[in-house]
Each structure stands twice: as structure tokens, then as C-alpha cells.
């Protein structure tokens, strides 16, 4: 399971979501799943942006949703200083917890997440 929690909708987030969407599609038999949650103080503003991202990039395998509150669900322990947090777990155990500060979700970060995802499905 790959879960992404983000506090902003950016082009780099779109790249990450596309990457994960492709991985989920390619690994259906291995039952790779994922979801993306935008943590928002104004869900009415962010929900249409998220829908537009899904439509523009053809996201079909990863559910996208909005959570009311930038802190996120307490049980997930989302990093406070992170703009985007990627959590991965397998069989109920966390395999990776990556927090990216504003502007740090770059090509290097996308490569790191791709490597983590590959390790998750082996």
C-alpha cells in the first residue's frame, strides 16, 4: 500500500501521482494499492483542483480525496514540516515513511519513491 498525504497540489505532486498510478496498473496481480489525500483547510477549493489533476493526467488506479484539516488524521502521524508525506506498508508494517518539505518533491525524490515502491512489490 502506498499512501500520499499532501498539503498542496503541485506539478511535482502530479508527477508523483502519475508514477504511482502506473505502478498500481502494472502490479494489479501483486495487489499493489495506493491512495492520495490532500490535507486542506478549504476542501471546497482543493477538491476541484484534485479532480482536474485526475482528469488532466488520466489517473485511473489511485483514489484521490481531500481531508478537512492540514494536520491530517492523527493516527497516521503526518510530518508537520512536510508538504508531502509518502507512507508505504506491507502486511501491516510500515516499509517507508518519507516526508518532503516544500519544494523538495523533485526528480530525486520521485526516484526515491519509485525505488521504495519497487521494493514494496518484490
Helix (H) or strand (E) holding 113: helix 107-121
pLDDT of residue 92: 87
95 vs 77: CA distance, rounded Å: 15
Grid coordinates in use for 86? 509518502
Does residue 38 surpass a pLDDT of 90?
A: yes
68 vs 109: CA distance, rounded Å: 26
120 vs 41: CA distance, rounded Å: 32
Does residue 10 surpass a pLDDT of 80?
A: yes
| β-bridge partners, 4 | 36, 86
pLDDT of residue 70: 94
| pLDDT mean across residues, the chain | 95
Query: What contacts 92, CB < 8 A, 6 or more positions away?
Result: none
Inter-residue contact 113 to 19 (CB < 8 Å): yes
The pTM of the full predicted model, rounded to 2 decimals, is 0.94
32 vs 1: CA distance, rounded Å: 6
2-121: CATH number: 3.40.30.10
| β-bridge partners, 88 | 2, 96
Inter-residue contact 70 to 46 (CB < 8 Å): no
User: Hey, where are the domains in the chain?
Assistant: 2-121
Amino acid at each position: 500500500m502506498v499512501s500520499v498525504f499532501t498539503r498542496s497540489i503541485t506539478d511535482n505532486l502530479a508527477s508523483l501521482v502519475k508514477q504511482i498510478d502506473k505502478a498500481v496498473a502494472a502490479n494489479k496481480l501483486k495487489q499493489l494499492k495506493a491512495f492520495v489525500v490532500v490535507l486542506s483547510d478549504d476542501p471546497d477549493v482543493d477538491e476541484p483542483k484534485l479532480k482536474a489533476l485526475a482528469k488532466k493526467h488520466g489517473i485511473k488506479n489511485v483514489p484521490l480525496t481531500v481531508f478537512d484539516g492540514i494536520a491530517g488524521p492523527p493516527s497516521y502521524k503526518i510530518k508537520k514540516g512536510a508538504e508531502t508525506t509518502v507512507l508505504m506498508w506491507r502486511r501491516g508494517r510500515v516499509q517507508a515513511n518519507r516526508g518532503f518539505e516544500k519544494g523538495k518533491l523533485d526528480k530525486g525524490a520521485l526516484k526515491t519513491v519509485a525505488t521504495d515502491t519497487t521494493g514494496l512489490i518484490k
